[in-house]
Structure 1
Amino acid sequence: MITYRQLEHFVAVAQERHFSRAADRLGIAQSAVSVQIQQLEDALGVRLLQRHKRQPITLTDAGALLYEEAIATLRHMERAQEIGRLAAQGRGGHVRLGYVASAVTSGLLSRMLKQFRPGHEQVHMQVIAMETPRQLQAVEAAEIDVGVVRPRRQYPENVEATIIHGEPLMVAMAENHPLAGKPTLQAADLHGQTFIAPQFTETDAEGFAQVLARLAAAAGFSASPAYRVNDIITATSLAAAGYGIVVVPESNRRFNQPGVTYRVVSDFQERVYLALVYRKRENSPAVRAFIAAARQSVATGL
């Protein structure tokens, strides 16, 4: 079997055209170079070099053909070694990241990715929009490595969570909505309104529908969403079209959706949060490095 060392020595001799200079370049004895070349020729069953007493060494036809392949092989092997080193250090490999829409509008997603990028240019990031319940399933099943989700009271047994972002709430509505004439709102102003609940699934017992319920309870009325959708952007689109109002994170204003205006609810101070979720026993150095970088990019004012 041909070895890396044999090819390395052969390339050195082929380039230097001299055993002694090749040995000096490799930092070894000339006899060791001769042994490696002889073993390579024996393994292939063909002479690779023409040795001359007073003339530079030349390549045989077989040697010339092998030389091109040897150069390519050594480069591939060196690249493989480098990738292996980077992976072991967490500076190479793959990270699959799930996120909810608020990770984008809050700027959290871009901050995490920016924090991680220096020194990890060889890590391939796969970034996937995915709602919270699906992310938790995907992290547990190793379909994704890390997720940015709305926090839950309980997580799957093998999943750990860290709160990494928090922000106040606002009400989004069409620019021509009757409540848009008020500079700020009180919870009681929302009584009798048509509500839209984002990030809702039939199997998800937590989320913005529960935030809405607590808002209504604070003003002494009950509220049930007339429209239930899967994400905040869809909910805000419905609000812009006049279908109702929606309680959203403050950062949703950065989305700059046409036809929407936002108002603070002065007597409802509840905040909403985002959490980083990942497997408790994570073996990938690249994933562990990303988790560490994400924690460092945590927004202030949680």
Structure 2
Amino acid sequence: MNKRKVSRLGLGCDRMSNANSDRAESIATMHAAFDAGMTHMNTADFYTSGHNEMLIGEALKGCNRDKVFLSVKFGALVAPNGVMYGLDVRPQHIKNYLSYTLKRLNVDYIDLYQPARIDLAIPVEEIIGAISDMIKAGYVKHIGLTQVDAETLRKAHSVHTIRLVEYQYSLFNRSIERDILPTTRELGIDVVAFGTLAHGLLGGTWTKDKVDHSTAHIPLFSKENIEKNLSLIDALRKIAEEKHLTVAQLAVAWVLAKGEDILPLIGARKVQQLQESMKSLDVHLNESDMKRIEEAIPETEIAGESFPQMKFKNGVVVRPYFSV
């Protein structure tokens, strides 16, 4: 299988469509990414109700389509206020989702197509089978999965080769190392790591008094946890300063150093942010560096979880956002 088109860093495009984003700046950032050799563009059809796909479609005008790796998630049900309220990954609906995605992006095919989550009421084999039909029809090149467990990944891979698994991976969430990463490595599947800055906590500028409604429901940021977590970042900052890096650059470099099969996403919305993030590619961490970094933020000292553990059955959440 040809893997040459997926760059080591990918551009997570979701935030380019939020209320604080500038359309021209976002497009300029994507063009800067292309020029720098970043080929992987990661989006979803439900990001701002399709606006993100249209934005990427505009940025792709005049570009060499075959040099861009487009990854698209589908299936999340989102209300007008932007809140996710359910999931619909029924096999008979997949080609409909894909039709709209192709139109919004103004392309003939998607490089990687993946369900946003798996519905426990639908055998994963049926979902993968429906996407593989789109591969046979020429509309999709590869299949991916997001936030799945190892057993589900194995079942899916038995039906059709899974090209990439998208999973949260950061110094504040290393759960992937227990079951998923050993499984992907056994099966020869690469991992797209999102959330490498832990919702901005590892951005290096967070304070205990900062108010951000997008993180209000995440235990890492709760009043009883935030000071503890910020103290861990202070320890990480000392290492970053020694290496003349920002905390964010060191955090991404740590993920990169975890293996050539780990492909982090960065969420830059501006050219300068992109350029700063890409400096992580030039950072070389040895075994001693990695040990110091992980000792600065020990898993046992992290206060609160960092990602919703949502599971769905018949399209509705059957597991609370965070396990207790």
TM-score class normalised by the smaller sequence = under 0.3
TM-score normalised by L of structure 1: 0.23
Higher relative contact order (CA 8 A, sep 6+): 1
TM-score normalised by L of structure 2: 0.22
Higher Cα Rg: structure 1 or 2?
1
